Structure 1
Amino acid sequence: MASSSSKSSLRRSHGDSSGASSGHSHPRSATQSRLSTAPSIDIDTLVNHLLVAKRSLSSMTLVLRANEIANDARQSHDDVSILAAQAGFLRTSILDQTAILVRTRRSLQSTYEWGKKDFRKLVKSMDLVDGQLDHTMEMLRGTGVESVFRPQGEERRSLLDFIDEGGVDGVREAMKQSIQELQAIQQSFDGDLLRFDNDIRNLKKVVADTPSIQDIPQGNNPSAGEILESLVDHSANMAQLLASLTHHFDMCVTAIRTTEGGVALARRRAAEATQSQGNDGVSISGVIAEQESNVSDLEPKTAKDRAEMLKVVVQDAREVDDVVQEIQERLTAMEQDYTVLQEQHDISKQAYTGMLQAYAILGDIGDRLADYLAAEGDFKTRWDMEKESVFAKLQEMQQLKDFYERYASAYDSLILEVERRRAVDDRVRSIWRKAQENVDKLLETDRVSREAFRQDVGEFLPTDLWAGMQGSAKKWTVVKEGEDEGGGEVQPLRRSVVEAAKERLARAGERRGVR
């Protein structure tokens, strides 16, 4: 930056020169005649100062750029404030809605976890009942039918051979289908939850990837308001510096114009400079003509005024380059600060755009939220319906198990019944055997008595008196009536078989008593 002395000097020359030439009534020819003998500096030096001052006015483009930056900065600052407020409001609202969505998702997850837990309980109950039924079936398979109950020569068979296992296989297959249906219900609900998770994840990702005002780098960087204030200050100072350069140029023109031969030399040197360096947009001839037609406030009235003016011109001429450099440095600083402000503006715009995108995603999720909630209701309804079907099948399996257990118990009862009947037959045969022995004894006594009767009186009684007199004693025989439907006598059962049947019946009775 240029020193403070250079700025104050140029500004002082601006003020002092205006005060040094306050008169406007004297014509230019009279002034030139009075000042022609006044002390002066070398005309070439004055012309050089004029050309340098003329070139310094090209800083006007820098000042215009500074003014443009300041105006754009004001607009950017306003945009940042508006975008930041809108983005902040949207972010807060979206985060609140996201929290509600997360709580809703947790509620749905609770329902899903309940379903998983209930499924494990149902499968455990299925395994338990199926295991009991399988145990009963194995017991029937391991219980052989005694050969005394079957035709001779038949291959040994078990109790399981006399039942239709199709019922068991059917209920087991139905149970497998119920398990598959429950799993399908879970998978359907899990798919809805997965889509809900993806929606929430995408929403969170957009929010997380979207910069916020807090993401604007701070550190040693000033705030947007401070940057704007600095830019406006730079622009104002640059305008003042340009005004000082313009005033210095006007003073140089006045000095040339009030110096004999100065105008011609200045025009010639300016033309040469234009040919070699190009036109910088400032016409010395035009300024000279304007001053000649309108008496300037800078016009010196006395030799003392002109000497003072030349002194200021020479002093300010030494500071022109510093002032130009300061304008350039200030513009460079403004460009840097404006870049920072633009970055903040870009971040704010990205934040707002990102929040709009997140808000649109939130709207889409809201449209699908009813479907997710309906999926929970559908899950519960289908689950309860299939659960009732599972309970019915469990009851059917339990009934089959109970039936087969009673079937096994009935077989044991059959063994005892057959043993009881055999015992009855044995007792009947024993009784009839003893009765036959007594009858045989009576008949033998009757035979002896009949023979004695015939010997005692037989010769005295005519044979045709009673036809039965010569007859023998009657014979008595006990004959079993009919045959068993089983086809003959039942062979006696082994005692171990009968005792085992008694024990099994006792255990079965105890189990039924516990129930």
Structure 2
Amino acid sequence: QSQDEHQSICKIHPKLAFLIADSHVQIKLCQSLEGNLKRHLADLETTVQVKEQQASDLFQEMATILELLKSREVNEIGSHDNKDGKHTLYDHIDQEAVDALESRVKQYLQQLQHISQTNSEKCTQTLHKINHITIPEAEDISITWEGVQAMGNLIADSQSAVDDISQDLQSVERHCDQLRDTIRDLEVQGGTLSIDDYNVLLHDTDEIPGIIMDLEETLSGVRQRADEINVRHLQYSAFFDESKRRFSAVSQISDISNEYVQTAASGQAQYVALVAALDTALEDMWGLVTWYRQFHSAYDGLIAEVHRRRQAQRDILATVDDMRARLDALHMEELQTRAAFVDKDGPYLPSDLCPFIQDPPSRFVIEEIADAGRFASVQSHETRYMKDTSH
């Protein structure tokens, strides 16, 4: 039906073809505009809420890991002493860097909230304006080429009937003129009317009622066609008035929506850049949280490693002590053996025969070159920790 109407409009006036071709599409777009605006606004608000929740979770994770680092005491007392005289893993954290990163995340969130709030207000205003515009409902009134042709035929038939009536009236008027002229001549001349003239006048006069009846019948047809033409005229006028109101409403909605779209588009680049910057900051902060957790767990490994090294040091020292004792015993045994030889055979040997025979045996010393103090305790609860891990 829409295609037939489109073809009819094209035949009536090609420039009006868009009335039928685009009207349904434009009206549907206007009707769906409210839902699209609400979804757009909901998407913005959802994005901001998701980012806020991500930041909140991240801040909580950061606070938790920092508390863990604060509670993990290191026994070694050094330059990191705090007011309580305790050295904790937290003393190795750059809190200013954490605060700066957290402030940057909060700043990005505030800017996103501002953009979302601004869009929400403008969207609400736009929807309010659109809701005050009513698009007339399409009625069962349309223009068809056949209807226009029928209307043209009615006008042509009416014009033909009017022409016939005009001719009949002219004929009656001529007959009346002839009758008046004849009567006037008779009155002037004082003569009598012949039978033939009388019959002619009588015949013409008798035809007048028939002519009048024909005129009345023709006039009735003209009136009927005029009524039908008037009805069609009213229908077509209503169609064009309705179309004009619809497209006027569509035009107003289009102008309002375009204004909102242009405003939203101007802030879209900033919005996208802020989301990207926020994601980067959140990723950096999650990286810190991960690093701090690894730092906390790595300290447990450090304690185990220090304990292992101490045990290894003790094993090495035990071996060294044993080697020293064995070397001392061998040295003493060698001294005694050499002394016995010198006492027994030395007096009989010339001194220049073997000068070194009187030399004492070589003495070997095992020295420690590493700093044993570097294996000092690094955790006040190391003993308890090792007991826990040994289970």
Between the aligned partners of 1:100 and 1:492, the Cα distance in structure 2 is 76
Indicate the structure whose relative CO is greater, using CA pairs within 8 Å and at least 6 residues apart. Answer: 1
The equivalent position to 1:440 in structure 2, one of 328, 334, 343, is: 328
Between the aligned partners of 2:328 and 2:377, the Cα distance in structure 1 is 30
In structure 2, what residue type is equivalent to 1:434? D
1:125 matched to which residue of 2?
54
Query: What per-residue deviation string (whole Å, max 9, x for no partner) do you get for residues 9-50 of structure 1?
Result: xxxxxxxxxxxxxxxxxxxxxxxxxxxxxxxxxxxxxxxxxx
Between the aligned partners of 2:123 and 2:347, the Cα distance in structure 1 is 125
Q: Is the 8 A contact 2:37 2:123 kept in 1?
A: yes
Between the aligned partners of 1:156 and 1:411, the Cα distance in structure 2 is 16
Q: Is the 8 A contact 2:78 2:87 kept in 1?
A: no
Between the aligned partners of 2:116 and 2:298, the Cα distance in structure 1 is 44
1:490 matched to which residue of 2?
375
In structure 2, what residue type is equivalent to 1:410? A
In structure 1, what residue type is equivalent to 2:347? E
Paired residue total = 254
Q: Is the 8 A contact 1:171 1:397 kept in 2?
A: yes
2:261 matched to which residue of 1?
373
Q: Return 5+ residue gaps in structure 1 as ranges.
A: 1-96, 205-358, 505-515
Cα drift, residue 425 of structure 1: 1.7
Query: What per-residue deviation string (whole Å, max 9, x for no partner) do you get for residues 65-106 of structure 1?
Result: xxxxxxxxxxxxxxxxxxxxxxxxxxxxxxxx9997675233
Q: Is the 8 A contact 2:55 2:282 kept in 1?
A: yes
> What aligned pairs does 1:262-341 form with structure 2 within 5 A after superposition?
none
Q: Return 5+ residue gaps in structure 2 as ranges.
A: 1-25, 135-246
2:286 matched to which residue of 1?
398
Q: Is the 8 A contact 1:186 1:379 kept in 2?
A: no
Cα drift, residue 378 of structure 1: 5.0
The equivalent position to 1:115 in structure 2, one of 28, 41, 44, is: 44
Cα drift, residue 389 of structure 1: 2.4
Cα drift, residue 108 of structure 1: 0.9
Between the aligned partners of 1:458 and 1:450, the Cα distance in structure 2 is 10
Between the aligned partners of 2:282 and 2:44, the Cα distance in structure 1 is 19
In structure 2, what residue type is equivalent to 1:189? N
> What aligned pairs does 1:175-254 form with structure 2 within 5 A after superposition?
175-200=105-130
Cα drift, residue 201 of structure 1: 6.2
In structure 2, what residue type is equivalent to 1:165? Q
Between the aligned partners of 1:111 and 1:195, the Cα distance in structure 2 is 14
Cα drift, residue 120 of structure 1: 1.6
2:33 matched to which residue of 1?
104
2:181 matched to which residue of 1?
none
Cα drift, residue 366 of structure 1: 4.9
Decide whether aligned partners of structure 1 residues 374 and 498 sit closer, same or farther in structure 2, where only a CA change above 3 A counts.
farther
Cα drift, residue 151 of structure 1: 10
2:86 matched to which residue of 1?
156
Decide whether aligned partners of structure 1 residues 423 and 495 sit closer, same or farther in structure 2, where only a CA change above 3 A counts.
farther
Structure 1 residue 139 and structure 2 residue 24: aligned?
A: no
TM-score (norm 1): 0.42
The equivalent position to 1:471 in structure 2, one of 353, 359, 362, is: 359
Decide whether aligned partners of structure 1 residues 413 and 502 sit closer, same or farther in structure 2, where only a CA change above 3 A counts.
farther
TM-score (norm 2): 0.54
2:203 matched to which residue of 1?
none
2:338 matched to which residue of 1?
450
Q: Is the 8 A contact 1:416 1:502 kept in 2?
A: no
Between the aligned partners of 1:118 and 1:139, the Cα distance in structure 2 is 32
Residue 74 of structure 2 aligns to a residue in which SS?
A: coil
Between the aligned partners of 2:387 and 2:108, the Cα distance in structure 1 is 40
Q: Is the 8 A contact 2:80 2:87 kept in 1?
A: no
Query: What per-residue deviation string (whole Å, max 9, x for no partner) do you get for residues 237-273 of structure 1?
Result: xxxxxxxxxxxxxxxxxxxxxxxxxxxxxxxxxxxxx
Decide whether aligned partners of structure 1 residues 493 and 143 sit closer, same or farther in structure 2, where only a CA change above 3 A counts.
closer
Q: Is the 8 A contact 1:98 1:200 kept in 2?
A: no
Between the aligned partners of 1:151 and 1:476, the Cα distance in structure 2 is 44
Query: What per-residue deviation string (whole Å, max 9, x for no partner) do you get for residues 295-328 of structure 1?
Result: xxxxxxxxxxxxxxxxxxxxxxxxxxxxxxxxxx
Decide whether aligned partners of structure 1 residues 445 and 494 sit closer, same or farther in structure 2, where only a CA change above 3 A counts.
farther
Q: Is the 8 A contact 1:422 1:492 kept in 2?
A: no
Q: Is the 8 A contact 1:108 1:376 kept in 2?
A: no
Between the aligned partners of 2:276 and 2:369, the Cα distance in structure 1 is 58
Structure 1 residue 170 and structure 2 residue 100: aligned?
A: yes
1:430 matched to which residue of 2?
318
Q: Is the 8 A contact 1:101 1:200 kept in 2?
A: no
Between the aligned partners of 1:457 and 1:370, the Cα distance in structure 2 is 124
Residue 184 of structure 1 aligns to a residue in which SS?
A: helix
Residue 459 of structure 1 aligns to a residue in which SS?
A: helix
Decide whether aligned partners of structure 1 residues 150 and 385 sit closer, same or farther in structure 2, where only a CA change above 3 A counts.
closer
Between the aligned partners of 1:382 and 1:110, the Cα distance in structure 2 is 20
The equivalent position to 1:414 in structure 2, one of 274, 277, 302, is: 302
Q: Is the 8 A contact 1:416 1:501 kept in 2?
A: yes
Between the aligned partners of 2:340 and 2:386, the Cα distance in structure 1 is 60
Between the aligned partners of 1:150 and 1:186, the Cα distance in structure 2 is 48
- Bigger drift between 172-181 and 411-420 goes to 411-420
Cα drift, residue 179 of structure 1: 0.8
Cα drift, residue 440 of structure 1: 1.6
Q: Which has the larger radius of gyration?
A: 1
Residue 114 of structure 1 aligns to a residue in which SS?
A: helix
Between the aligned partners of 1:114 and 1:178, the Cα distance in structure 2 is 18
Residue 130 of structure 1 aligns to a residue in which SS?
A: helix
